[in-house]
Structure 1
Amino acid sequence: MTKAFVIGGTRFIGRHLIEELLTHGDDVTIFNRGRHENPFADEPDVDHVTGDRTDRESLEDAAQAVAPDIVFDMVAYHPGAVEHATRVFADADAYVYVSSGAAYAAEEVPKREGETPLEPCSPAQATDDMPETYGNRKAAGDRAVFEAAEQGVNAMAVRPPIVYGPHDYTERLAYWLHRIENEERIVVPGDGTNLWQRAYVEDVARGLRLVAKRGTPGEAYNVGDRNAVTLDRMVELAARALETDVDVVHASNRELSVADLDAEAFPLYRPYPHLLSTAKIAALGWDSTPVETAMARTVTDFQESSRTGIENGPDRDAEERVLAVLDTL
C-alpha cells in the first residue's frame, strides 16, 4: 500500500485528490491546520496530522513520523516553501507541487511546458501575498522543483488553469450558475467568444496521482479540459444542466460603462485566450471528463449547496442597467 502525504486541502482539490487516492487503495495522511471540517474524519485509511506548513519544524516532524512514499503539496504559495519541502521530502518516491497556469508569462496559444516562458519573480515578489504576484510565485516554485530534481529529488509540478467542480469554495462558476438559474436574461461581456480554459477538479486529482506514479522528475505537466469552451458555450452547458433557458445579451466595455463596469468585472472573463496544451500529461494515460458530464456534476453540487457567487461579479442592479440601455439600441 502506497503511503500518500497531502499537505493542505480537504476543501476542494485536495478533497478530490484524497478520494482519488483512496479509490486506488492508497493510505493517506493529511497535514493541515484543521481549520475546516474534515470530510474524512471517519475514514480508517486517512490519518490527520495537525500543523502549519509555514512552520518548518512542524512539517519536518510530520515528515519524519509518516515517512510517506508520495507527497502532494497543495498549498505552497511561496517558492521558499517549495524549496524547503523538496529538502524535507528528498527521499520520497515522488513530490508533486501544485503550480498554476498563471505561471506562464507569454500569451501563446496554447501554452506548452518547456516552451512557453515562465513569469519572473523578484525577491520582493517571492515573499509577498499580493494576488498580482500569484503567477510569479508559482513560477518560482516551478523553478525550485526543477532545481531539486537536478539534485536527485523526484520532484514534479502540475499546472492547472482555473479549477471548477463540486465543493468549489471560490464560487467563480457559482456566480454564473446562480444568474442562469434565477434570471431570464443575463449579460455576457464581449461577444461570448472569450476563451479561458478551465480544469474539472476530478481530472486535476487524477492528473496529480498519475504524475506521482508515472511522471518524470524535473518536469511540469499542464492539466485542463481537453475540450476548452468559450464563455457562451459554458453558459449553454450550464443552462442545459440546470434544465432552463436563458437569453444571453452581449455587451462591450462601452456598453458596460453605463453601470461603471468593464468586461473583467465578470468572473471567468479574460481578454486574451488562455489555453494550455495537455498532450504531455495525456501521454501518461490521462484524459479529461467530457465537459457536459463535468458541468452536470458541478450543477448537481451547486444545487445542493448554498453557494451563489454573487460577490464575485457585478450585482443584478448593475446588470439590469446595462440591459436597459441595450434594449434602447
Structure 2
Amino acid sequence: MRILVLGGTRFIGRRVVEALVARGDEVLVVHRGQSEPEGGPACPHLHANRRHFAAVAGRVRDFAPDAVVDTYALTRRDVEAVLPHLPDAHLLVLSSVDVYQAFEALLTGDRTPVPVPFGEDAPVRRSRHLYRGKGMGLDDYDKLDVEPAYLARGGTALRLAMIYGPHDQQRREEPVLRRVRAGRERIPVGPGTALVTRLHVDDTAAAVLAALDRPAAASGEVFNIGETTSYSMHGWMRLILQAAGHEAELVQVADDVLPADLALTGATVPHVLASSRKAADLLGFRPRDPAAAIADSVRWHLAHPPADAFTDFAEDDRALSSVSR
C-alpha cells in the first residue's frame, strides 16, 4: 500500500512509520521538519507546517496514497488546514479516550459514577478544551473537534488509551523510575486502586495497521484501542519495579501528603477503563501481554534516562514521616 503519514517523527507516529516500512508499504511522511528521528526508517519526507499544507498538496496528490494516517491532529484548525487537500483515500486519525466522561472525571475529580469498562457508545465529555488556560500550550486541543470531519468523509478514528513505550515524551513510568535510580526503598502512595487502560506504542502501531488492512470494516467507525488486561495503579507500579529489578515498599499515606507525581494513586481517582472488544471483533486487534510490554518499556527508559531527571524527594520524606514504620 501507499500510505501518507501526517506527523510521523515522534513517539506514536514514528512507530507507525517504522511498522509500515518494515512490512513493505510505500510511505510518505509530511511533518514540520522540527525533528528528524535518528535511525528512523528510510522513506521520503515533505516538510510543511499544517497551516501551510496547501503548499505541498500537489505533491501529496502525485503520491496518490491508498490511505492517510493523521497522527497529530490536535485541534479543529489542524483538521481544517489539511482535510480539504487530502485525496480520496481511506482516512485514519488518531484520537484519544480523553473524549469520554470517564476521563473528564479523572481531571476534575467528579465522583459521579461512570460505568466501566466503557465502549465506543459511552457518553463523551460535557466540557471542551480540557487544558485551556493551564499553560500547556494546548488551549485549543480537543479530539472532539478533530473526529467529526474525518468520520464524515468515511474515515476511521482510533481512540487510544494511555500510550507508553520507547520515545514517550511524557515518560509514563518516570514517577517510579526516578525513585529506582535514586535507590529509594520506600515509596509513598495512596490506595492505588484506580484502573487505567494503557497501551504499548508497538500495539498502537499494530492497531493502525489492522484498521488500514480492513477499510470496509473500519470506514466511518470509531474504535477504542487499549490493552485487554488493566492493572491497578499499585499493580502497575509493582510491575515497573519488578522489571527494573528494584525492591521497594509501597507505603500508603494520606492523599493530602501524596507527592504530586504520585497523585494518580490517590483514593478519589476514578477508573478510566476502556473496552477494545469492537476493535478485536471487527479489526482482529490483539495487543500483547501487558506485563511483557511494560517490562520492555522499562528497560528502554532505564537505558535512556531523561537529562533533567527529578532528584528532589523532600515530598516523599515528608509523606513517609507521617506514618509509623
Q: TM-score, normalised by structure 2?
A: 0.85
Q: Is the CA contact (8 Å cut-off) linking 1:28 and 1:47 kept in structure 2?
A: yes
TM-aligned CA deviation for residue 8 of structure 1: 0.8
RMSD over aligned CA atoms reads 2.8
Q: Comparing 301-310 with 128-137, which one deviates more in the overlay?
A: 128-137
Aligned match for 1:85, one of 82, 85, 105: 82
Alpha-carbon distance between aligned partners in 1 of 2:149 and 2:321, rounded to the nearest angstrom = 52
Distance 1:197 1:291, change over 3 A: same
Look up the match of 1:119. 125
TM-aligned CA deviation for residue 34 of structure 1: 1.8
Look up the match of 2:92. 96
Q: Deviations over 1:124-177 (max 9, x none)?
A: x5996866978972012122222222xxxxx11001121001111212322322
TM-aligned CA deviation for residue 251 of structure 1: 1.9
The answer on 1:17 being equivalent to 2:22 is: no
Amino acid in structure 1 at the alignment position of 2:64: A
The answer on 1:266 being equivalent to 2:262 is: yes
- Matched position secondary structure for 2:187: strand
In the TM superposition, 1:124-139 aligns within 5 A as 125=129, 137-139=142-144
Amino acid in structure 1 at the alignment position of 2:209: R
Alpha-carbon distance between aligned partners in 1 of 2:100 and 2:140, rounded to the nearest angstrom = 7
The answer on 1:326 being equivalent to 2:323 is: yes
Alpha-carbon distance between aligned partners in 2 of 1:54 and 1:268, rounded to the nearest angstrom = 36
Alpha-carbon distance between aligned partners in 1 of 2:169 and 2:137, rounded to the nearest angstrom = 20
Distance 1:161 1:320, change over 3 A: same
Q: Percent identity?
A: 27
Alpha-carbon distance between aligned partners in 2 of 1:268 and 1:294, rounded to the nearest angstrom = 21
Q: How many equivalent pairs are there?
A: 307
Amino acid in structure 1 at the alignment position of 2:119: R
Alpha-carbon distance between aligned partners in 1 of 2:288 and 2:140, rounded to the nearest angstrom = 26
Distance 1:268 1:78, change over 3 A: same
Look up the match of 2:291. 292
Amino acid in structure 2 at the alignment position of 1:34: G
- Matched position secondary structure for 1:99: strand
The answer on 1:75 being equivalent to 2:82 is: no
Look up the match of 1:64. 61
Q: Deviations over 1:58-83 (max 9, x none)?
A: 35244224221111111101123224
Distance 1:228 1:58, change over 3 A: farther
Distance 1:230 1:84, change over 3 A: same
Q: Deviations over 1:277-326 (max 9, x none)?
A: 10011121111111121012111211221227855xx9411111111121
Q: Return structure 1 stretches of 4+ with deviation > 6 angstroms.
A: 126-129, 132-136
Q: Is the CA contact (8 Å cut-off) linking 2:54 and 2:82 kept in structure 1?
A: no
Amino acid in structure 2 at the alignment position of 1:253: D
TM-aligned CA deviation for residue 9 of structure 1: 2.8
Look up the match of 2:234. 232
Alpha-carbon distance between aligned partners in 1 of 2:191 and 2:263, rounded to the nearest angstrom = 15
Look up the match of 1:165. 165
Distance 1:120 1:213, change over 3 A: farther
Amino acid in structure 2 at the alignment position of 1:305: H
Q: Comparing 130-139 with 230-239, which one deviates more in the overlay?
A: 130-139
Look up the match of 2:115. 108
- Matched position secondary structure for 1:80: helix
Structure 1: runs of 5 or more not aligned = 150-154
